[in-house]
């Protein structure tokens, strides 16, 4: 796949940057890389023995570029608000951007199977979003929201295992190969899921018992299940043990998890360790007969 050319409309139209007449910012098209390897393909054809009608679909899927994807932090009370900001502020700007041949850029779309539309993807590569001026505001949005923990940049396939585990508040989770930390962050969010609404509901109950006048319940407070994690006044009591055998990659893991600003990151809900995966569980002793 070669470099893509884009152009903007309106104030950010034309070249969108230095170079004046260079609408693509001085980029050149390069020949598409042929994603073919005969020995590799023959090996998997013989191994999988796919029916002929499925074989082309299988190889076409492997040749497709991975989408540029990100996920809104589900444990944050304002995650849906940040998502609405994407929909109302940035997507209307992105749809004004065109390829050099006049085709409109595909805007971000929600991943259809991810709960609450908190995961999104788009076909425009990351390097284009970083460097091409019409995407500047969107890139700044992604960077700033990622830095404060409202967005996680994560491949779609990486989002699947935590969902299949169906982690709930109060669960104890061991992640044996946790770095760089995208899945670990997702697991931690799931442990904290609903915590803010539970705490608000408990505080409201205490206030009413003291005869204080409080405002109307929010929909989140109405919907939340206090029994999901009831033992500490609504606060999360689960635990994530995030392990990786590579000490340097462990630094990346810590950086990922610190973005979530969990009040109990270092003590209550997360443990960080660095051990060889092969030692869990211990290997059985060899026996000979």
Q: State the binding site for S-adenosyl-L-methionine.
A: 177-183, 244
Question: Shortest CA distance to 121 belongs to which of 152, 76, 79?
Answer: 152
Distance CA 98, CA 105 (A): 5
Answer whether 119's CB lies under 8 Å from 71's CB.
yes
CB atoms within 10 A of CB 94: 21
212: burial class by Cβ within 10 Å (0-12, 13-18, 19+)? exposed
Structure tokens at 225: 């299940």
CA distances from 199 to 79, 116, 216, 230, 239 (A): 17, 21, 15, 10, 18
Structure tokens at 256: 């990922």
Burial 76-86 (b: 16+ CB within 10 A, else e): beebeebbeeb
In the annotated binding site, the residues are: 177-183, 244
Cα torsion angle, 144, 145, 149, 155, sign = negative
């Amino acid at each position: 796949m070669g470099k893509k050319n884009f152009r903007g409309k309106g104030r950010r139209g034309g070249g969108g940057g230095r170079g004046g007449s260079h609408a693509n910012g001085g980029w050149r098209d390069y020949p598409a890389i042929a994603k073919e390897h005969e020995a590799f393909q023959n090996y998997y054809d013989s191994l999988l023995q796919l029916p002929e009608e499925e074989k082309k679909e299988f190889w076409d899927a492997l040749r497709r570029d991975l989408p540029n994807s990100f996920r809104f932090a589900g444990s944050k009370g304002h995650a849906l608000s940040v998502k609405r900001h994407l929909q109302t502020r940035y997507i209307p700007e992105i749809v004004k951007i065109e390829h050099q041949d006049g085709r409109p850029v595909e805007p971000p779309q929600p991943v259809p199977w991810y709960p609450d539309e908190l995961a999104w993807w788009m076909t425009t590569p990351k390097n284009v979003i970083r460097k091409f001026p019409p995407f500047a505001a969107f890139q700044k949005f992604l960077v700033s929201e990622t830095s404060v923990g409202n967005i996680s940049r994560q491949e779609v396939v990486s989002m699947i295992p935590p969902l299949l585990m169906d982690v709930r508040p109060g669960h104890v989770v061991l992640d044996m190969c946790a770095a760089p930390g995208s899945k670990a962050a997702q697991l931690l969010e799931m442990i904290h899921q609903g915590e803010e609404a539970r705490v608000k509901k408990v505080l409201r109950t205490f206030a009413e018992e003291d005869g204080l006048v409080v405002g109307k319940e929010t929909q989140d407070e109405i919907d939340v299940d206090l029994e999901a994690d009831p033992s500490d006044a609504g606060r999360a009591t689960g635990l994530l043990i995030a392990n990786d055998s590579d000490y340097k990659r462990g630094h990346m893991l810590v950086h990922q998890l610190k973005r979530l600003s969990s009040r109990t990151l270092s003590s209550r809900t997360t443990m960080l360790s660095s051990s060889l995966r092969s030692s869990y569980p211990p290997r059985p002793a060899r026996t000979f007969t």
